Amino acid sequence: MNLIYLKEEHQMIREAVREFAEKEVEPGEVDRDATMEFPLDLVEKMRELALLGIPFPEEWGGAGLDNLAYTIAVEELSRVSGSLGLTLAAHTSLGTSPIYEFGTEDQKRRFVPKLASGEMLGAFALTEPNAGSDAQGTQTTAVRDGDDWIINGQKVFCTNGGYAGTIIFTALTSREPKQISAFIVEKGTPGLVYGKKEDKLGCRASDTHVIHFEDCRVPNANLVGGESELGKGFKFFMKTLDGGRISIGAMALGIAQGALDKAIPFVRERRQFGKPIGSFQGVAFRLADMETEIQAARHLLYHCAWLKDTGQPLEHQSAMAKLFASEVAMRAADSAIQVLGACGYMREYHVERYLRDAKLCEIGEGTSEIQRLVISRHLLGRLT
């Protein structure tokens, strides 16, 4: 597709990631989906391809490209593997971006080059057993003790949590008045305890962990933004999610495109009633609808990436893009299964996995209901 804002570098990254995804990721994906093996070897190859820090400047260890290039990379990876797309999205938008955007110079210097170069993975921990959609319901506490903070609590559904070198997380630094701050905890810190690795419906080759803080001592130097930003953690996390939602939308877009790309050759080749099934309008029109919706989702998402690259507000725009793309992915994966018939129901044809992977996009980084809440509040304000 030739869009006016796509430059040569965007085309190059699409081609490079597509080649990597098709040659190196796809062959093992059905097995990894079954075994839930986290592909450290593929993460290492992504590091070699400079995919783990696409939108960060080269002086900070990144590839020095823009958010549009990063969106395209997540899209292309997810076209083959929702799991790897999610791993990249969580590492980049959630694990690295908030340190780059809100960290002190010292925090940026200590962590961003290692994250953006892929020397280590990053993770982001907001959700707790009682703080999901109501993200301000955080119960994890941080109590000051000299030069440290003592952290107690639990975070759940933490993507990359078991492998990350750093986890940025929120904690209450005051109950009354309520004050939520953000901290960075490093792997190996005493009191950072890994709970169970989750067994999931989809994105099964991505890592999702429960994280416990048991009198975990985090230095004051890891209070995100420094003392002046105490209590800003919720806003940092909300702003981070505004950007992160573009990458979950990109993941959905890639899954939808992957579903269509599996359906096209199948309906050309599969013959019933003496003809390719693609000659029947009941089948062909499904593909027409998929293509139309995919293009619409792509425009919304690339527009959001451009908004981010140009420093414009994107809260309700990224909510719309994520909402729309994730619902498109569900419909596209469902349609791909339907046109493949019984084959579509079989693991080896991939599309049943696309449906399971797509479902994550309607939930992760804010459910579709939360996206509708953000969009409707933008339209109406808060009606009382």
Residues taking part in catalysis: 365
Residue selected from 76, 198, 242, 362 as contacting ligand COS according to rule CB under 6 A: 242
Residue 74 touching ligand COS (CB under 6 A): no
Residue with tokens 């950007």: 243
CB of 3 to ligand COS, least distance (A): 27
CB of 137 to ligand COS, least distance (A): 8
Residue selected from 172, 241, 253, 300 as contacting ligand COS according to rule CB under 6 A: 241
**The token pair that represents 173 in the structure block:** 């630094």
Residue 80 touching ligand COS (CB under 6 A): no
Cβ distance to ligand COS smaller for residue 264 or 373:
373
**The token pair that represents 169 in the structure block:** 């997380």
Cβ distance to ligand COS smaller for residue 245 or 286:
245
Residue 167 touching ligand COS (CB under 6 A): no
Residue 314 touching ligand COS (CB under 6 A): no
Cβ distance to ligand COS smaller for residue 17 or 164:
164
Within its chain, how far is the Cα of 150 from the centroid? Answer: 29
Residue selected from 239, 286, 331, 353 as contacting ligand COS according to rule CB under 6 A: 239
Q: Which part of the chain contacts ligand COS (CB under 6 A), choosing from 104-112, 273-281, 297-305, 358-366?
A: 358-366
Cβ distance to ligand COS smaller for residue 128 or 293:
128
Rg (CA), the chain: 21
By residue count, the chain amounts to: 384
Residue selected from 315, 341, 372, 376 as contacting ligand COS according to rule CB under 6 A: 315
Nearest-5° angle of CA 331, CA 336, CA 340?
Answer: 150
Per DSSP, the three-state class of 167 is strand
What DSSP designation does 198 have?
P
Cβ distance to ligand COS smaller for residue 235 or 347:
235
Integer Cα distance of 32 and 44 in angstroms = 16
Residue 359 touching ligand COS (CB under 6 A): no
The alpha-helical segments, DSSP class H, found in 172-280 are 233-269
Cβ distance to ligand COS smaller for residue 17 or 211:
211
CB 245 within 8 A of CB 321: yes
* 123 beta partners: 167
CB 136 within 8 A of CB 130: no
Residue 374 touching ligand COS (CB under 6 A): yes
Read out DSSP for 177-190? TTEEEEEEEETT-T
Integer Cα distance of 121 and 46 in angstroms = 11
CB of 86 to ligand COS, least distance (A): 11
Report helix, strand and coil shares of the chain as percent, to nearest 5. 60, 15, 25
Residues near ligand COS (CB under 6 A) = 124, 126-127, 133-136, 234-235, 238-239, 241-242, 315, 364-366, 370, 373-374
